[in-house]
Amino acid sequence: IEVALRSSDYQPNLFARNLNRKRTRSIGIVVPTVADPFYSEMVSRIELRLRDEGYWPIVISSHGSRELEVEATRTILSLKVSGALIAPLGLRSDHRTLEKLTQTIPIVYFDTYLEGDTPFVGNNNSQSVSTIVDYLCRSGDAPVYFDIPHVNH
């Protein structure tokens, strides 16, 4: 059988193979937009780490839309992913849909914190700005202008 499979260049169908399994070796990644350099770089790094660990990423952009974020969460759930990494839209997210998802598969939020017990990876923007301002005040350096657009529009 193995010789025949090799000679015919057989490629297994991952979805068919996992029909009877509860989860695949895939991880859903939902971001507001892959056009933003921050999210593009995050997805790229996450994708490499997942592949190193034998997982396949499934990347979906919500394009900053609450409705598309809900659709993305439903899609990754229907694909029976092993877990998901989600950069939620924050206040515009449908918190009930995301909470329901956290009860079904392992979820980690990144970049945007949502209230609750779901694991979160990100930085503390208030603390970061405070540290920058404190440094500038102590150093005597000329003030710096940071034009940081809000990408979740």
3-state secondary structure the chain: CHHHHHHCCCCCCHHHHCCCCCCCCEEEEEECCCCCHHHHHHHHHHHHHHHHCCCEEEEEECCCCHHHHHHHHHHHHHCCCCEEEECCCHHHCCHHHHHHHHCCCCEEEECCCCCCCCCEECCCHHHHHHHHHHHHHHHCCCCCCCCCCCCCC
Q: What is the pLDDT of residue 22?
A: 62
What pLDDT score was predicted for residue 114? 86
How confident is the model at residue 150, as a pLDDT?
Answer: 66
Reported pTM: 0.74
Task: Provide the residue ranges of all domains of the chain, joining segments of one domain with +.
Answer: 2-122
CATH fold, domain 2-122, is Rossmann fold (3.40.50)
pLDDT confidence of residue 149: 66
The pLDDT profile of the chain, 153 residues, written as one tens digit per residue, is 677 666 777 776 666 665 556 668 899 999 999 999 999 999 999 999 999 999 999 999 999 999 999 999 999 999 999 999 999 999 899 989 999 999 999 999 999 888 888 888 888 778 888 888 888 888 877 766 666 666 555
In this predicted structure, what is the pLDDT of residue 69?
A: 96
